[in-house]
Structure 1
Amino acid sequence: MDHVIAGAWAGAQAREAGSLEGWQQGGKWFSYGGHAIFSRMAGQGEPLVLLHGFPTASWDWSRIWPMLVQQHSVLALDMLGFGFSDKPTGYHYSIEDQADLVQGWLEGLGLGTVHLFAHDYGCSVVQELLARDQEDRLHFRIGSVCFLNGALFPEVHNPLFIQRVLRSPLGGLISRGLTRRTFEYNFRRLFGTQNPPDRQDLEDFWHLLTYNNGRGILHHLIQFMEERRCHRNRWVGALQLARLPMRLISGTADPVSGVAMARRYRELIRDADMVSLRNVGHYPHFESPWDVFTGYRDFRKQLAGG
């Protein structure tokens, strides 16, 4: 019964997050290399930075946002090429450049200690930031890291066929010709059976994808899959060398970064801290926000307790 009550409360909190239009209106833009970057900030407490996945945006966090802002000063942004941020054509998109963006943003805000919560593409950005932290290249301290489903270990990543095609020489044609029907078919496959996206969810995600000619650059953005392979030793090494609290919250029904990724995490990370969510897919924070929130809340309670 407690779980049912909690789930109902979480649903009410998620509805309070409002519409996608409201999400956009509640944000602010800042400049990175002459490009406009969308961001949101709310709450009080230690800074908690949310980093989204591919090919979506900070809106992914909207259902868990009302819960997190009650306990933390929460910051999120749409990385360059995503969501409501600029999507320049002919730009060399890379994880390292996105890490430059996030690092510059946080250092510009003058933050001391930050906690990072990342999903998918954002996990790779965090791995690069961890490597820089270990090289004393950051002017802020990373207090803790929590990962949601992402390709932390490229050798067990299982991309969808559409993702493989986007990486191919035909990627530009596939990207520009992507239809809503094709997008929805592939996007649905990423979700578990517990809470698949409804029509409005799909409308919102499609709007974010196509906003400001987003279809025209998907084949450039997805080259991060090759970056993961090239930087595998650096980024996996950053996880293994990390001496700060880390947790992985994994939706086990994820077909691309689910059970195999979680198993690999347990194999390679010392004293691996993991939470598994059954029947939850690639977007745990959107599919099962209450379970993700409690998993994160308990992680931070353990941290506070030493």
Structure 2
Amino acid sequence: MKATDLAAMAATSLRGVLGLVAATLCALALGAHAANSDDEGPGFARLGPPEAPVKLFYEEKGRGSPVLLVHGFGASTYTWRNIAPGLAENHRVIAVDLKGFGQSDKPFDERYSVFDQAELLKQLIIDNNLRDLTLVGHSYGGGVVLVLALDEDPRLTGRISKLVLLDTIAYPQDVPVFFRILDTPFLSHVGVRMVPPSVQTRIALRIAYLDNSKIDDEEVEMYAAPLRTAAGKHAIIHSARQIIPEGLEELSERYRSIAAPTLIAWCDHDRIVPLDVGLKLRRTLPDAELKIIEGCGHMPQEEQPEATLDLIQGFLND
């Protein structure tokens, strides 16, 4: 075979290899584009000031107008597992672990009030350009939602369309002994550090549930996991100390200015945040309705997920 023929064959082979590489890269690029165009799944959002950023874990699924799920004290995105899929049938559902909870960062600082949490979520809303947004907050998370609804930052103007408040903190109130212990410096450190996390969690869930037979081992373990670290213990103590934050009474006087349509849903046997709080909210908020969920204590999304989902879906479809 002549040298010219060998050269031609080599050139042809090289072109073939290069063509295959190009085709492969093109396919990978298209695949990457398809993956990036689908935002579903878990991730972390880097929020807060550049000098002290906080990573918040979130889970996202579905398409449509956005719904941001904000859990309560000691909980995480796990608490929405029974209602998020149903909401995602018609909405873009984003469930987030608040600072100090679940898989989010737990820095050794004291910025764990509803005001601190709302500031981080405000940045999440703006960074993701969320509009026509429904905020769903449970308990402590409901307090965060109320702060967001009252935020006068012009960057939030027109973004929040509806609120859903589930057994939410809203006014100064007596708190269960569990929280009073965590608010006592010596007792809080002894209790959180000496009592096994699974025991602490089961006690808390027994206070929050009406039917304790619905508390299973998986749930206890999921909620107890963050308490197995020093950072998780720090976060739970400092969140509990600010569960009823300073300035709440002054803040509550502004609730009348919240114009967004609001669903207030309350368990009929809540021993943590009494129904009187829900009744007062209904009288105060200009466009609010109150629905009672039967057969639950303080966590309707856990004890009565179907009834809770039906109420939220009905409200969103109005």
**TM category, shorter:** 0.7 to 0.9
Q: Cα deviation per residue 1:230-277 (whole Å; 9 max; x = unaligned)? A: 23222x234221112001011111101132222322443346401101
Task: Please tell me whether the aligned partners of residues 195 and 288 of structure 1 are also in contact (alpha carbons under 8 angstroms).
Answer: no
**1:114 matches 2:130:** no
Give the Å deviation of 1:193: 2.2
1:63 maps to 82
Q: Distance in 2 between matches of 1:139 and 1:246?
A: 17
Q: Distance in 2 between matches of 1:108 and 1:68?
A: 22
Q: Distance in 1 between matches of 2:108 and 2:139?
A: 23
Of the candidates 228, 232, 235, which is equivalent to residue 210 of structure 1?
Answer: 228
Task: Please tell me whether the aligned partners of residues 46 and 53 of structure 2 are also in contact (alpha carbons under 8 angstroms).
Answer: yes
**1:43 matches 2:62:** yes
1:42-191 equivalence runs, <5 A: 42-133=61-152, 136=154, 138=156, 141-154=159-172, 157-170=173-186, 171-179=188-196, 180-191=198-209
Of the candidates 216, 223, 230, which is equivalent to residue 247 of structure 2?
Answer: 230
Higher mean displacement: 58-67 or 254-263: 254-263
Unaligned runs of 5+ in 2: 1-39
Q: Partner of 1:40: helix, strand, or coil? A: strand
Aligned AA (2:127):
G
Aligned AA (1:182):
Q
Give the Å deviation of 1:71: 1.1
1:246 maps to 262
Of the candidates 290, 310, 315, which is equivalent to residue 274 of structure 1?
Answer: 290
Q: Partner of 2:296: helix, strand, or coil? A: coil
Task: Please tell me whether the aligned partners of residues 113 and 141 of structure 1 are also in contact (alpha carbons under 8 angstroms).
Answer: yes
After superposition, the Cα gap between the structure-2 partners of 1:160 and 1:181, relative to the gap in structure 1 and judged at 3 Å, is same
Give the Å deviation of 1:26: 4.2
Q: Partner of 2:156: helix, strand, or coil? A: coil
Q: Distance in 1 between matches of 2:305 and 2:117?
A: 26
Give the Å deviation of 1:140: 5.2
Aligned AA (1:144):
K
**1:193 matches 2:211:** yes
Give the Å deviation of 1:187: 1.9
Q: Distance in 1 between matches of 2:110 and 2:80?
A: 26
Aligned AA (1:114):
L
Q: Partner of 2:163: helix, strand, or coil? A: strand
Give the Å deviation of 1:41: 1.1
Q: Distance in 1 between matches of 2:212 and 2:111?
A: 38
Q: Cα deviation per residue 1:282-303 (whole Å; 9 max; x = unaligned)? A: 110111111011101111222x
Task: Please tell me whether the aligned partners of residues 153 and 232 of structure 1 are also in contact (alpha carbons under 8 angstroms).
Answer: yes
Q: Distance in 1 between matches of 2:278 and 2:76?
A: 23
After superposition, the Cα gap between the structure-2 partners of 1:209 and 1:46, relative to the gap in structure 1 and judged at 3 Å, is farther
Output the aligned Cα RMSD.
2.2
After superposition, the Cα gap between the structure-2 partners of 1:248 and 1:222, relative to the gap in structure 1 and judged at 3 Å, is same
Unaligned runs of 5+ in 1: 1-24
Task: Please tell me whether the aligned partners of residues 65 and 131 of structure 2 are also in contact (alpha carbons under 8 angstroms).
Answer: no
Q: Distance in 2 between matches of 1:82 and 1:120?
A: 14
Stretches (4+) displaced over 6 A: none
The alignment's TM-score, normalised by the length of structure 2, stands at: 0.79
1:290 maps to 306
Q: Partner of 1:225: helix, strand, or coil? A: coil
Matched residues, number: 273
After superposition, the Cα gap between the structure-2 partners of 1:181 and 1:194, relative to the gap in structure 1 and judged at 3 Å, is closer
Give the Å deviation of 1:111: 2.1
Identity of aligned residues (%): 24
Aligned AA (2:141):
G
Q: Cα deviation per residue 1:16-40 (whole Å; 9 max; x = unaligned)? A: xxxxxxxxx9410121243321011
Q: Cα deviation per residue 1:181-202 (whole Å; 9 max; x = unaligned)? A: 2331232121112863112221
The alignment's TM-score, normalised by the length of structure 1, stands at: 0.82
Q: Partner of 1:90: helix, strand, or coil? A: coil
Aligned AA (1:173):
V
| Larger Rg, first or second structure (1 or 2) | 2
Q: Distance in 1 between matches of 2:73 and 2:185?
A: 20
Q: Cα deviation per residue 1:59-112 (whole Å; 9 max; x = unaligned)? A: 111111110110100011111111101111134322222111101111011222
**1:27 matches 2:45:** no
Aligned AA (1:52):
H
Q: Distance in 1 between matches of 2:90 and 2:228?
A: 33
Of structures 1 and 2, the one scoring higher in RCO (CA 8 A, sep 6+) is 1
Aligned AA (1:188):
R
Task: Please tell me whether the aligned partners of residues 43 and 57 of structure 2 are also in contact (alpha carbons under 8 angstroms).
Answer: yes
